[in-house]
Amino acid sequence: MTEIENKVAFVTGAASGIGYALCEALVKRGAKVMLSDIDGPGLERAVETLGAPDQTASVLCDVAKAKDLHNAVKATLDAFGKVHLIFNNAGVSLGGRPGKIALEDWKWIVDINVMGVIYGCEAFIPTLIEQGEGGHVINTASMAGHSTDIGMSPYFTTKFAVVGYSEALSKELAAVGIGVSCLCPTWVKSNIHNTTEKAPVAGKYVEVIRTSKHYQAVKELIENGMDAEVYAELCLDAVEKNRLHVFNDPDARQAVVERNKQLLNDYDENLKVLGLE
């Protein structure tokens, strides 16, 4: 995908954060944008703030419901006739220690962060293929899809899934001229650290969570992170150049290096045991 001007984009999680910044950047580049979000009032404010009625429309969408994504395809085609760029951006955060995370909360984050991306792809990709005009799928993962730490295993799990799915899609769709990019940021200004309040169980203890040292540290990192507008421009550059991974943090690069070292070391040690080195 080399041109964004005059293309049609669909964006989930469009009411705030990276999602809104992507919509703003797309409008500036002359694209038409269908904004979607579960937050109705926020969605209305986003459309009004963009101030581009000829280039924008909106549709309420809960990405954890496949039906909503299929309805969004129809709404996008009804509004603009075609669709070329699919931004599966909506996501939430959830932490906790093994054995202490409610299964309801596990299902909640997987339904949004993983199935929400899958639902978006399964709903929109047939239209991209049928149109025969190429296109691009952009899935929001995280640097948390490439390295892990303590205390956020549900979030890491979902983001590793999105990275793997995106890498598989890039191979699947290359033959039909559809590109894939996977967004892998570290700290970008957004409200992601407050989404746990919507979790079925953890959300009941949000006031306790917000007094924890972990929450306060993450909050500070996000509030002092990269401006969402800067990251959005980087993302659109990746779309234009068909770049698969979209990283933004030089300090996080070493984590990828160290993980690869561990993988290769374990690989070689197992081959030695088998006598296959």
Please list the ranges in the chain whose pLDDT falls under 50: none
Task: Tokens 């969408």: give the residue.
Answer: 61
pTM summary value: 0.96
- Amino acid 218: pLDDT: 94
Q: Where are the domains of the chain?
A: 8-246, 251-277
Whether CATH 3.40.50.720 fits 8-246: yes
Identify whether 267 is a catalytic site residue.
no
The 10s digit of each residue's pLDDT in 22-31 is 999 999 999 9
10 Å CB burial of residue 111 (0-12, 13-18, 19+) is middle
Query: Going by C-beta distance under 8 Å and a sequence separation of 6 or more, which residues neighbour residue 253?
Result: 247
Q: Among residues 259, 226, 239, which one has the least CA distance to residue 2? A: 239
- Amino acid 3: pLDDT: 85
- Amino acid 19: pLDDT: 98
- Amino acid 187: pLDDT: 96
Question: Which one is catalytic: 119, 155, 165, 231?
Answer: 155
